[in-house]
A and B are shown apart, each in its own frame.
Chain A
């Protein structure tokens, strides 16, 4: 489930700066809350996809496609994922990429948490270290002075 967009997408509007509309602080706060909501939606979507994936029938290509298309958790998960992407792009219109990109990487933290809490997945040093380093990496991508 890719979230990466070429950085140029949001840059033109972000270039106006958050203060352009007068009530900059409020707009910024709204954008931040919206993106945080997106990360929660994204994690819920992953949980639904994982649950739904267990019922996929891999007997043939037709069986795979049919068992996916008629799978309620899977279709709901994809819909939530799509919704979170649309909301994220909407938030990007009002706020700088460099501020919101690090926030979106919180999804990795939530997914790890729900996997451990609800799917009884294992906890290990390597897994937690890997996620933390990946989150730092994604956050770094947003901290691009040339995009501001």
Chain B
């Protein structure tokens, strides 16, 4: 067994939480005018960093049991969530390449899971 179901669920939770970290960093970065101080004290960027730490917390619990070579590639699911939020919150368009990328990532995760057992 390359990983337990609970490890897989924890990685998916971590990737989901982490995708909000990216959204918060983006939202913060749009308000940063100039200088490193502006960035460090931006509440959205700070919250984004906290979100990443929270995501790492779940990821560490996930890889405690199970294979890293099986669980780490599933982190790529965060790209799928991030593209959804980019479209939803920032109006970034879906392109053919993004669709292809999402399809390949989902297919890759399916392949990994097909070999589980």
Q: Any chain A CB within 8 A of the CB of B29? A: yes
Q: How many A-B residue pairs have CB under 8 A?
A: 178
Q: Does A2 contact B (CB under 8 A)?
A: yes
Minimal beta-carbon separation of A5 from chain B (angstroms): 5
- Binary interface profile of B, 84-105, with partner A (CB < 8 Å = 1, else 0)? 0110001011010110111111
**Known: A46-B68, A78-B56, A124-B115. Is A56-B25 also a contact (CB below 8 A)?**
no
Interchain CB contact under 8 A, B57 and A146: no
Contact B61 A122, beta carbon cutoff 8 Å? no
Contact with A along B55-95 (1 / 0, CB 8 A): 11101110110011110110110110111011000101101
Q: Given the interface contacts A127-B115, A130-B73, does A141 sit within 8 Å of B64 by beta carbon?
A: no
Least distance between A114 CB and chain B CB atoms (Å): 8
Q: Which of A14-22, A24-32, A33-41, A47-55 faces chain B? A: A47-55
- Interface size of B by CB at 8 A reads 59
Is residue A133 within 8 Å, beta carbon to beta carbon, of the partner chain?
A: yes
- Given A68-B60, A112-B73: A121 and B97 interface contact (C-beta under 8 Å): no
Chain B positions within 8 Å of A54 at CB level: 64
- Interface size on A, as a range, is 35 or more
Q: Which of A6, A68, A115, A126 contacts B22 (CB 8 A)?
A: A6
Are B95 and A1 in contact, CB atoms less than 8 angstroms apart?
Answer: no
The complex places the Cα of A24 from the Cα of B73 at a distance, in Å, of 33
Assess whether A144 is in contact with B112, with CB atoms less than 8 Å apart.
no
* A130-B109 in contact given A1-B75, A2-B52, A119-B68 (Cβ < 8 Å): yes
Write the nearest CB–CB distance from A64 to chain B, whole angstroms.
7
A144 and B70 CA atoms in complex are apart in Å by 28
Given contacts A122-B2, A126-B114, A137-B107, contact A49 B78 (CB under 8 A): no
- Docked-complex contact A50 and B63, CB < 8 angstroms: yes
Question: Which of B21, B67, B106 has the most A CB atoms < 10 Å from its CB?
Answer: B67
Nearest CB to that of A64 among chain B residues? B61
Nearest Cβ distance between residue B32 and chain A, in whole angstroms? 11
Enumerate chain A residues within 8 angstroms of B64, measured Cβ to Cβ.
53-54, 56, 58
Knowing that A5-B22, A52-B60, A122-B69 are A-B contacts, what are 10 other residue pairs whose CB atoms are under 8 Å apart, sorted by A's residue number? A6-B22, A8-B90, A56-B60, A56-B64, A111-B72, A126-B115, A129-B108, A135-B108, A136-B104, A144-B98
Taking beta carbons and an 8 Å cutoff, which residues of A are in contact with B?
1-9, 46-47, 49-50, 52-54, 56, 58, 64, 68, 74, 78, 81, 108, 111-112, 115-116, 119, 121-122, 124-127, 129-141, 143-146
